[in-house]
Structure 1
Amino acid sequence: MSLFNICSWTCVLVCIACTSGRSLTSSKPQPRSLLDEKNKDHWRIQAQWTLRSKVSVPLKTNVAKNVIFFLGDGMSITTLAATRVYLGRKHGYLGEEVKLSFETFPFTGLSKTYCVDNNVADSACSGTAYLTGVKANSGTVGLSGAVRRGDCEGQRDTTNSVTGLMDWAQQAGKSTGIVTTTRVTHATPAAAYAHSADRKWEADVDMPRHGLRCEDIASQLVRGRVGSSIDVVLGGGRKNFYPTTEKDAQGYFGIRNDGRNLIREWLLRKESLGARPKYVYNKHDLQNIDSTYNSVLGLFSSDHMPYHLEAEEDDPTLSEMTQKAIEILSQNKNGYFLFVEGGRIDTAHHETKARKALDETAELAKAVEAALRLVNIENTLIVVTSDHSHTMTYSGYSKRGTDILGLTNTKYNASDNLPYSTLSYANGPGFKPHEDFKRHNLMLDDMNNLNYTYPSLVPLPRETHGGEDVAVFAKGPWSHLFSGNYEQNYIPHAIAYASCIGPGLTTCKL
C-alpha cells in the first residue's frame, strides 16, 4: 500500500500498454498520465478490474481484536478530491486519477454530521457522536443533548455524562491510545475521555469564575476514570498541564492558575496503578522509548503541533506518532483501540490556507499507510472518516494537470475578465475587498506562499464548517457495516459490534 494508489493493477497496465502500443515508461516531461486515457479500452478494462475486485472481496466476520479509528478533522470530500491532485502532481502525475491510501478500502459510506441543536456541526458535538454513539449540542463534549453549552451544573450532573469507545475498550481489557496533531485537550480528542459543557474549558484558567466549579479537560485526562486509564497520549498542548510558575522544556510558561503540574501528577498516578510510565516532549525521545514502558504521555508543543510544512526536525510527524502508539499498544494480548486525529486540516481550512489543509490531509494518508504496514488486517478494523465538512469548493473548468492550488486555465472567462482560483471558500478571512467595484485581481497575489489565504465570498475572521455528509472508509473485520448512509453516532456502535466491546449488540452476543 502506498500513500496514493494508481488503481493497483499492474497486469491491467500491461494489457492497456499492449492494446495502445505505448510504453508504460513515458519519457515525456511531467506532468504525465500513467495510462492511455484516450484509448477506449483503458476505461473498459479499468471498470472491469474495479468490478472484479469488488465482487471478490470476502466479507470478514471474525472479531476485530484491534481497532484504529482515523479522523481527518474537517476533511470534506472536496478536500479529498483536491488532495489527490495535490499529491499526484507532486509525484509527476496529472493527479485526478490517483487515490489516497484509505480510498482503496473496500467499503465506503456517508455519515450525517449535524448536532442536536445546530444544522452544521462543530468538532465537539461531532466528536461526542462518533466516539460515544450519542449526538450532542454544539460546543459540548461527552455530554448528552440535555446539556447546553456553558451549563456547568449540567456537566456536574453525572446522569448527563456519556462514554463510548475508549471506555468500552478499557472495560474489555484492551489498551487504549490517542494521537493528535492538535492539543490533546482540544475538542476532538477530549470527546474520547472528558465531559465538559464547553469545549474551551481545556485548563482551569478557561473556566467561568462564577457559580459552580467544573473540572477542566486537562485535569480530566489525568484524574478522570477514562482519561487516567488511557495508555498512550501523543500530541500538543503542554501549556494546559503546567502552572504559570513553571516553564516547559521549550521555555514556555504554563497557563494553569491552580499551581498543579499535571504531567507530574500523571506520572505518579500511572505508577500507583502499576504501570511503567514515560513522559516525552520531542521526536528523539519518542522514537527511543524503551519497550518496557507501557504507558506514554508525549506533549510535543505548548499549543497545537506545527503544520507539517512548517515543522522542525525534532517535531514528530503524525505517521511517526501513529507507529509508536501501535508498537506500545500491541503489547497487550487482548488488543487495543487507537484514535488518531489529523487535526490541523481543520485549522488550516478555518484560515482559508488551502495549501496547508491539503498537505495535512496527505499526512493523514501517510499515517494510515504506516498503520497498514504494522497491523494484521485480518484481526484489525481500520476506519477513516471526518467529523464535518468545510466551505472550500473545487471549481472548473481547468485542463488536466493544472495546479490545484493555482488559477484556472479555462477557456470560459469570468464576466469581469479577471482570473479565479480553482479552490475558494464560501466565507472566511480570504475575502479581498473590491476595488473600484471590480473584483480583486488574483494575478497580483503570491499563491505559492504557504500562508496564502484563498479567496472567500463572505468576510469572516474564521471560515466556517460545512453541513454536508462526510465519507467513511473501512477495512478489516466487519468493515461492510460502514456502507450506506447513516447518522454519525452509528459509527461507534458498528465499531463496538465488530470488536465485541460496549453494552450494546456485538458479534459476540448474537
Structure 2
Amino acid sequence: MEFVLLLLISHLNFICGLIPGLTPPAGLKKKRIYHQIRNPPPEHEMNPTYWRNQAQETLKRALNLQKLNTGVAKNIILFLGDGMGIPTVTAARILKGQLESKTGEEGFLEMDKFPHVALSKTYNTNAQVPDSAGTATAYLCGVKANEGTVGVSAASVRRQCNTTFGNEVTSILKWAEDAGKSTGIVTTTRVQHATPSASYAHSVNRDWYADSDMPSEALEQGCKDIAQQLIFNIPGIEVIMGGGRKYMFPRDTPDIEYPNDWKANGTRLDGKNLVEAWKDMKKGKNAHYVWNREQLKSLDLTKIEHLLALFEHGDLQYELERNKTTDPSLEEMVTTAIRILSKNPKGFFLLVEGGRIDHGHHEGKAKMALYEAVEMDKAIGRAGSLTRDTDTLTVITADHSHVFTFGGYTFRGSNIFGLAPYLSDVDSRPFTSILYGNGPGYSLQNGERPNVSNSEIYENNYLAQSAVPLRQETHGGEDVAIFAKGPMAHLFHSVHEQNYIPHVMAYAACIGQNREHCVKFERGPCPSAAWVPIGSGAILLLLLTLLSCI
C-alpha cells in the first residue's frame, strides 16, 4: 500500500511539473524532473586507494614546503586577473580540463600548482564592493584608495583635480625602475585602463584616458590625462603592450588598422602624437613601436631595449574573437616581454593583466570571461617555463570578484556552460548552471522566464540569466585569492589587506621601502658585492661571510 501511495505521489508531481501553473496539493513534496542521465564516476576513483595515494603525494609536497625560499627575488611577475574571483577560477579550471577532453573538475590550473595561497580583502576606502582603480592602487602602490582613483591616496576625491597634488603615491613598478631593474606592462585592455595606469599615473579619475575625456577645469588646474602620463611619468619603462591607440593620436587621425571606422580615430585635443613623442625620447636606443602580430614576430628580441606595442584602438579583442593572424595572444605577449626584460642583470618587474575577464562578466557573457581566464593561465605557465623559482617571485591575484556563480547540482563532467540536470520546481523550465546575481541576462517573456535551450547557451555571446536587470553586471565584494611561488612567497599566508601585496614583493626584491632588510657590502678579495637578506639564520651567514673576507 505504501509503495502504491509513493507511486501516485511521484506521478502527480511529474504531471504538475509539466503543466505550468499547476502545483501539487498541499503536503505533497514536488520531485525534481531530471532531463539528464548521471554517469558513474571514473573506475579508478571508485577505489579508496586512489584518493589515499593522491592525498599522501600532496602531503609530501606540503612537507617539502618547510624548506622556505628566503632568497632575494631578482625578478617579480604580477599576474592580475581582472574580476577573477574564486568562482571564476574554479569554472576556468573545469573549462580548461574540458578543452582537453577531460571531465574538468579533477584538473589543475597553472596557478593551482603554486605552493602558497592566501586571501585578499578587496574593499576600497569608500566602497564595500570595489572598483578596479582603487584596488589597483592598493596592490600596486601599497595603500588603499577611493574607488575610481589611481596612484593617489584616499585623501584625493574623484573628479576633483585639485585634490591630486600632494596625494600622489608611487607603485612597485616605480620602485623597481629606481632600483635599476627593467619594467614592463602587458594587458589585454587599453594600456591606459585602471589596472595598468595605477603603475605609472596619478589621476583622480580613471576615465581621463586622453585630454578629450577631461573637463576644462581639470586641464586648467594642471591635471594630465593618463595617456600622457604613460609616456612622460616613468619614461624608462622598457615594455608596454596592450591596446589604446586612439588616446595617443590627435583628434580625427584615422586609425592605421581601421581607417574607415571613426570610432577608432585619434581623440586628443592637444594635437600631440604620443607615439612619436615616445620614439623621440628613445632616440639612440634600439626602440620599436608595433601595432600587429606580424610586426611583433619579426622583431629581434635579443637587440630590443624598448618596445611600445598597441594592437587595438581600444581594448584587445576577446580571445574567442581574436584574429590570430594580426593579434597576438596574451601568452605571446608575455613571452616577448620576458625575453626583452630578462636581459637586465639586475632583473625585472612585469605586470600582466588578463583584463577582459572582467569585461566578459560585465557583459553577462560567461563564455568570453572564462576563455580569457584560461588564456591567462596559459601565459602563467609560459612565464614559469621562462623563469626560475629560485630567483623569480610570481604572484597571481585578482582585483575583485563578480556576482558570477555556477550551481544547480550538475553532474560530474557536465559542460560548464550547460544546463542543470533538472527543471525548476517553480516554473518547470530548464536553467543553466552558470548564473549572475544581476546584469543584462535578466529577461521575461510574457511575464515568465525564458525557456532556455541547448541551441543557444553554447553561443559565445550568450547572456547568462541574471536575477536583477542591469545594463552591466556588477563586481562582487568577497575576498579573492592570492597565489605565489618563489622567494619570500610564504609571506602570503592568511587573509590580507589588498595593499599588503606590493609590500611583500618589494621585501622579496629588496626595493622601495624594504631595502633596509638587505645589506650591501664590499667583500674585498671576495668575488663581488651582493644583496643579502637579513632574516632567520641569515645574520649568521652574513657574519661568516664577512669573516671570510678579512
**Superposition deviation, residue 358 in structure 1:** 0.6
Match of residue 54, structure 1, among 62, 84, 90: 62
Partner amino acid for 2:105? E
Change (3 A) 1:416 1:505: farther
Q: 2:48 maps to which residue?
A: 40
State how far apart, in whole Å, the 2-side matches of 1:87 and 1:69 are.
22
**Superposition deviation, residue 413 in structure 1:** 4.0
Deviations along 1:5-63, whole A, 9 cap, x unmatched?
Answer: xxxxxxxxxxxxxxxxxxxxxxxxxx997771111111111111111111012210110
Q: 2:246 maps to which residue?
A: 239
Deviations along 1:90-145, whole A, 9 cap, x unmatched?
Answer: 21111111110111011000000000000011110000000000100000000000
State how far apart, in whole Å, the 1-side matches of 2:228 and 2:43 are.
55
1:382 aligned counterpart, secondary structure: strand
Partner amino acid for 2:114? F
1:417 matched to 2:424? The reply is no
State how far apart, in whole Å, the 2-side matches of 1:306 and 1:506 are.
44
Change (3 A) 1:326 1:76: same
Q: Percent identity?
A: 47
State how far apart, in whole Å, the 1-side matches of 2:401 and 2:319 are.
21
Partner amino acid for 1:117? N
Gaps of 5+ in 1: 1-30
Q: 1:439 maps to which residue?
A: 449
State how far apart, in whole Å, the 1-side matches of 2:147 and 2:445 are.
34
Q: 1:207 maps to which residue?
A: 214
Q: 1:306 maps to which residue?
A: 317
1:188 matched to 2:200? The reply is no
Are the equivalent residues in 1 in contact too, given 2:77–2:393 (CA < 8 A)? Answer: yes
Q: 2:332 maps to which residue?
A: 320
Are the equivalent residues in 1 in contact too, given 2:231–2:278 (CA < 8 A)? Answer: yes
Q: 2:94 maps to which residue?
A: 85
2:241 aligned counterpart, secondary structure: strand
State how far apart, in whole Å, the 1-side matches of 2:481 and 2:517 are.
24
1:403 matched to 2:415? The reply is yes
**Superposition deviation, residue 475 in structure 1:** 0.8
Partner amino acid for 2:141? T
**Superposition deviation, residue 507 in structure 1:** 4.4
Q: 2:474 maps to which residue?
A: 464
1:474 matched to 2:481? The reply is no
State how far apart, in whole Å, the 2-side matches of 1:41 and 1:496 are.
44
State how far apart, in whole Å, the 2-side matches of 1:32 and 1:276 are.
60
Deviations along 1:231-281, whole A, 9 cap, x unmatched?
Answer: 10000010000112422321242111111100000111122xx53211011
State how far apart, in whole Å, the 2-side matches of 1:35 and 1:142 are.
54
Q: 1:8 maps to which residue?
A: none
Match of residue 162, structure 1, among 155, 158, 169: 169
1:442 aligned counterpart, secondary structure: coil
State how far apart, in whole Å, the 2-side matches of 1:35 and 1:143 are.
57
**Superposition deviation, residue 375 in structure 1:** 0.8
State how far apart, in whole Å, the 2-side matches of 1:370 and 1:118 are.
36
Partner amino acid for 1:124? A
1:144 matched to 2:153? The reply is yes
Match of residue 354, structure 1, among 346, 359, 366: 366
1:380 matched to 2:392? The reply is yes
Change (3 A) 1:406 1:444: closer
1:71 aligned counterpart, secondary structure: strand
Deviations along 1:325-365, whole A, 9 cap, x unmatched?
Answer: 00000111100000000000000000010001110000000
Are the equivalent residues in 1 in contact too, given 2:418–2:454 (CA < 8 A)? Answer: no
Taking structure 1 as the reference length, the TM-score comes to: 0.90
1:234 aligned counterpart, secondary structure: strand
Are the equivalent residues in 2 in contact too, given 1:496–1:506 (CA < 8 A)? Answer: no
1:68 matched to 2:77? The reply is yes
State how far apart, in whole Å, the 1-side matches of 2:249 and 2:40 are.
52
**Superposition deviation, residue 504 in structure 1:** 3.1
1:95 aligned counterpart, secondary structure: coil
**Superposition deviation, residue 433 in structure 1:** 2.0
1:431 aligned counterpart, secondary structure: coil
* Worse-superposed segment, 199-208 or 391-400: 391-400
Which structure has the larger Rg over C-alpha atoms?
Answer: 2
1:360-375 counterparts in 2 under 5 A?
A: 360-375=372-387
Deviations along 1:387-409, whole A, 9 cap, x unmatched?
Answer: 00000011120110111101111
1:503 aligned counterpart, secondary structure: helix
2:501 aligned counterpart, secondary structure: helix
Q: 1:25 maps to which residue?
A: none
Taking structure 2 as the reference length, the TM-score comes to: 0.84
Partner amino acid for 1:449? E
Are the equivalent residues in 2 in contact too, given 1:408–1:420 (CA < 8 A)? Answer: yes
**Superposition deviation, residue 287 in structure 1:** 1.8
Are the equivalent residues in 2 in contact too, given 1:499–1:506 (CA < 8 A)? Answer: no
2:512 aligned counterpart, secondary structure: coil
2:184 aligned counterpart, secondary structure: strand
State how far apart, in whole Å, the 1-side matches of 2:479 and 2:43 are.
32
Are the equivalent residues in 1 in contact too, given 2:41–2:412 (CA < 8 A)? Answer: no
Deviations along 1:142-190, whole A, 9 cap, x unmatched?
Answer: 00000111010112x1x20001211100010000000000000001100
State how far apart, in whole Å, the 2-side matches of 1:406 and 1:148 are.
44
* Worse-superposed segment, 210-219 or 137-146: 210-219
State how far apart, in whole Å, the 2-side matches of 1:358 and 1:218 are.
29
2:444 aligned counterpart, secondary structure: coil
**Superposition deviation, residue 440 in structure 1:** 2.0
State how far apart, in whole Å, the 1-side matches of 2:141 and 2:223 are.
21
Are the equivalent residues in 2 in contact too, given 1:35–1:42 (CA < 8 A)? Answer: no
Q: 1:118 maps to which residue?
A: 127
Are the equivalent residues in 2 in contact too, given 1:497–1:506 (CA < 8 A)? Answer: no
RMSD: 1.6
State how far apart, in whole Å, the 2-side matches of 1:500 and 1:270 are.
28
Are the equivalent residues in 2 in contact too, given 1:112–1:469 (CA < 8 A)? Answer: yes
Q: 2:14 maps to which residue?
A: none
Match of residue 427, structure 1, among 419, 435, 438: 438
2:189 aligned counterpart, secondary structure: strand
State how far apart, in whole Å, the 1-side matches of 2:306 and 2:516 are.
28
Are the equivalent residues in 2 in contact too, given 1:86–1:358 (CA < 8 A)? Answer: yes
Are the equivalent residues in 2 in contact too, given 1:63–1:499 (CA < 8 A)? Answer: yes
Change (3 A) 1:506 1:359: farther
**Superposition deviation, residue 288 in structure 1:** 1.9
State how far apart, in whole Å, the 2-side matches of 1:236 and 1:33 are.
45
Q: 2:20 maps to which residue?
A: none
Q: 2:540 maps to which residue?
A: none
2:288 aligned counterpart, secondary structure: strand
Change (3 A) 1:506 1:54: farther
State how far apart, in whole Å, the 2-side matches of 1:466 and 1:53 are.
33
* Worse-superposed segment, 31-40 or 325-334: 31-40
2:46 aligned counterpart, secondary structure: coil
